C-alpha cells in the first residue's frame, strides 16, 4: 500500500471522527480550566483521542473484530451491547446531534426574526439527510470524498480560524472554575466521553479495515500496522484541533459568559473576522458534521445489514437517515439531555472490554474473566448512569460515593479490577479441576 493511501485513509478517519462534539466541547473545557488547561486537555485527549485509537488497534488484531471481542463475554451480551452502541452513535443520538449542530451554526445565525426557525430546520435537515443518503450509498467512494477532498478543506478552514484567534487573542489565562480547580486531568478525562469517539471507533473499525483490505492487505500483522499508522495520523490531527479549540476557549474566558461551546466559537469568529468569521465557522461546522454523519450512517448500514439477514445495506441506510431526520427536528437540547447518562454507562464497559483484549492471551478461560469483569463494571456503570440522569438511589448512591475515585467520576475502576481478578481466579481454579480429572481418568487405566 502506498504512503499516500495511508495518509488519505488517516484523513478519512479524522473526518469521520471530527463532528459536533469535537468542536463544541474543547472550548467549554478551555473556558473552565483556565490556568489548569494543560492537565485538563491531556485528560480530554486521553479519552477523546487515545481511547478511540486503542479501540481501532484492538479491533485490527482480533480475527472477527468487535464481534469476536464481544462474544468473549457472551453472544447475547455482544448483540445487546453492540446494537445499543450503533443506535446511540447512529440514528438515536450522535447523528441527530450532528445535524442539529450543523443547523445551529451554519444556518440559524443568518435567519431573520420573521422566518419560522422550525420550518427552516425541517427544510435544512431534509436536504442534509438527502445528501447523506446519496453519499452513504457509495461507501467505496468514501475515501475519495472524505480523505482526498473534504478533510484538506476542513483542515485549511480550521487553520485560518485558529491562527487568527491566537494572533488576536493575546490575553493571559483566567483562574480555573471550581470544577477544574482540583483533579483537572480527571475532569477532562470525563469530558472526553462527550465526543463519543471511543464508541464510534467500535463502528468505524470495519470501515477502516475494509479500506485497507481493498488495497490487497489481508495479513493480520500487516493490517494492524497500517491501521496503527492511519489511526496515528487521525489522532495527531484531532489532538492539534482539540488543543487549539481549547486554547481559544481559555482565552475567551474573560470576554463574557457563554451557553455552550458553539456560542464561544461563534463569538470568537465574529469578533476576530466579522461576518466572514461567522460564515467560515458555519462552513466548518456543516462540513465536519456532514462527514461524521456519513461515516456513522455507513457504519450502521454495514452492521445492521449483516446482523439482520433479510435486510439490505440500502434499506438500512434509508431507515437510519429517516430516523435521524425525524429526531433532528426535536431540537439540540433534548438530544444532549439524553447523551450524558448513556455515555457514563457505556464508556466504562468499552474501556474494560478493550483493555482485556490486549491481555486475552494470558487468560486460561477468557469467558470467565470477561464475564466477571463486565458484570462488576456494568453494575457500577449503570449506577453512574442513573445518577447522571438525576435518579436518587438512596443507600446505593451512598455506597457508590464511598468507592475509591468516586470523587472524580471513576468509581467503576476498582470494581472492574476486582471483577477481573475474580474471573482470573475462577478461570485458574476451573482449569486445575479439569486437569485433575484428566489425570485421574488416565491413572484409572
pLDDT tens per residue across span 37-60: 999 999 999 999 999 999 998 888
Res. 256: pLDDT tops 60: yes
Give the pLDDT mean for 337-348.
81
Residue of 328 and 148 predicted with greater confidence: 328
Could you tell me if 243 and 390 lie in one domain? no
Residue 197 lies in a domain: yes
Residue 345 lies in a domain: no
pLDDT recorded at residue 356: 94
Res. 350: pLDDT tops 70: yes
Could you tell me if 228 and 167 lie in one domain? yes
CATH label of the domain that carries residue 169:
1.10.4160.10
pLDDT recorded at residue 242: 93
Could you tell me if 275 and 412 lie in one domain? no
Q: How far apart are CA 83 and CA 77, in angstroms?
A: 10
Could you tell me if 191 and 285 lie in one domain? yes
Could you tell me if 31 and 124 lie in one domain? yes
Residue of 214 and 188 predicted with greater confidence: 188
Give the pLDDT mean for 130-138.
90
Give the pLDDT mean for 372-392.
89
Residue 349 lies in a domain: no
pLDDT recorded at residue 379: 92
pLDDT digits (tens, 9 = 90+) for 53-94: 999 988 888 887 788 888 999 999 999 988 988 888 888 888
Residue 342 lies in a domain: no
Number of domains in the chain: 2
Could you tell me if 278 and 379 lie in one domain? no
Could you tell me if 242 and 380 lie in one domain? no
pLDDT recorded at residue 147: 55
Could you tell me if 78 and 174 lie in one domain? yes
Could you tell me if 308 and 425 lie in one domain? no
Task: Kindly state the percentage of the chain with pLDDT values over 90.
Answer: 30
pLDDT recorded at residue 6: 84
pLDDT digits (tens, 9 = 90+) for 270-301: 888 888 888 888 888 888 888 889 888 988 99
pLDDT recorded at residue 386: 87
Could you tell me if 276 and 366 lie in one domain? no
Residue 347 lies in a domain: no
Q: Which domain holds residue 405?
A: 359-445
217: left (phi over 0), alpha (psi -120 to 50) or beta: beta
Could you tell me if 52 and 149 lie in one domain? yes
pLDDT digits (tens, 9 = 90+) for 401-422: 888 888 878 889 999 999 999 9
pLDDT averaged over every residue in the chain: 84
Residue 53 lies in a domain: yes
pLDDT digits (tens, 9 = 90+) for 193-248: 888 888 888 877 777 777 777 777 777 788 888 888 989 999 999 999 999 999 99
Could you tell me if 324 and 367 lie in one domain? no
Pick the last residue of a domain from 315, 333, 351. Answer: 333
pLDDT recorded at residue 165: 80
Residue 344 lies in a domain: no
pLDDT recorded at residue 444: 44
Amino acid at each position: 500500500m502506498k504512503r499516500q493511501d495511508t495518509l488519505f485513509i488517516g484523513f478519512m478517519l479524522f473526518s469521520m471522527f471530527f463532528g459536533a462534539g469535537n468542536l463544541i466541547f474543547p472550548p467549554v473545557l478551555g473556558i473552565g480550566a483556565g490556568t489548569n488547561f494543560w492537565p485538563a486537555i491531556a485528560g480530554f485527549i486521553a479519552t477523546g483521542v487515545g481511547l478511540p485509537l486503542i479501540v481501532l488497534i484492538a479491533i485490527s488484531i482480533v480475527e472477527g473484530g468487535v464481534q469476536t471481542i464481544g462474544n468473549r463475554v457472551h453472544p447475547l451480551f455482544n448483540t445487546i451491547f453492540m446494537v445499543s452502541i450503533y443506535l446511540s452513535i447512529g440514528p438515536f443520538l450522535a447523528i441527530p446531534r450532528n445535524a442539529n449542530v450543523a443547523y445551529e451554526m451554519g444556518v440559524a445565525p443568518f435567519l431573520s426574526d420573521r422566518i419560522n426557525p422550525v420550518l427552516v430546520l425541517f427544510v435544512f435537515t431534509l436536504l442534509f439527510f438527502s445528501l447523506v443518503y446519496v453519499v452513504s450509498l457509495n461507501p467505496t467512494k468514501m475515501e475519495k470524498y472524505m480523505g482526498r477532498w473534504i478533510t484538506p478543506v476542513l483542515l485549511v478552514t480550521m487553520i485560518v480560524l485558529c491562527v487568527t484567534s491566537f494572533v488576536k487573542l493575546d490575553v493571559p489565562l483566567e483562574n480555573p472554575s471550581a470544577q477544574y480547580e482540583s483533579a483537572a486531568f480527571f475532569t477532562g478525562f470525563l469530558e472526553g466521553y462527550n465526543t463519543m469517539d471511543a464508541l464510534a471507533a467500535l463502528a468505524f473499525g470495519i470501515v477502516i479495515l475494509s479500506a485497507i483490505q481493498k488495497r490487497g492487505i489481508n495479513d493480520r500483522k500487516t493490517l494492524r500496522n497500517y491501521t496503527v499508522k492511519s489511526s496515528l495520523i487521525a489522532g495527531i490531527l484531532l489532538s492539534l484541533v482539540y488543543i487549539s479549540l481549547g486554547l481559544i476557549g481559555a482565552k475567551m474566558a474573560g470576554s463574557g459568559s457563554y451557553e455552550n461551546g458553539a456560542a464561544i466559537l461563534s463569538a470568537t469568529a465574529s469578533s476576530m473576522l466579522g461576518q466572514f468569521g461567522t460564515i467560515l465557522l458555519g462552513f466548518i461546522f456543516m462540513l465536519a458534521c456532514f462527514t461524521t454523519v456519513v461515516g456513522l450512517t455507513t457504519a450502521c448500514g454495514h452492521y445492521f445489514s449483516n446482523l439482520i439477514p433479510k435486510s439490505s445495506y440500502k434499506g438500512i441506510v434509508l431507515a437510519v437517515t429517516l430516523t435521524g431526520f425525524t429526531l433532528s427536528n426535536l431540537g439540540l437540547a433534548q438530544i444532549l439531555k439524553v447523551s450524558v447518562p448513556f455515555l457514563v454507562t457505556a464508556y466504562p464497559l468499552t474501556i474494560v472490554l478493550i483493555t482485556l483484549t490486549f491481555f486475552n492471551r494470558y487468560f486460561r478461560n477468557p469467558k470467565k474473566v470477561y464475564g466477571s469483569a463486565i458484570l462488576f463494571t456494568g453494575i457500577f456503570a449503570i449506577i453512574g448512569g442513573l445518577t447522571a440522569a438525576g435518579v436518587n438511589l438512596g443507600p446505593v448512591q451512598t455506597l457508590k460515593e464511598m468507592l475509591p475515585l468516586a470523587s472524580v467520576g471513576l468509581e467503576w475502576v476498582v470494581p472492574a479490577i476486582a471483577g477481573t481478578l475474580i474471573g482470573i481466579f475462577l478461570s485458574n481454579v476451573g482449569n486445575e479441576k479439569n486437569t485433575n480429572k484428566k489425570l485421574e481418568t488416565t491413572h484409572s487405566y
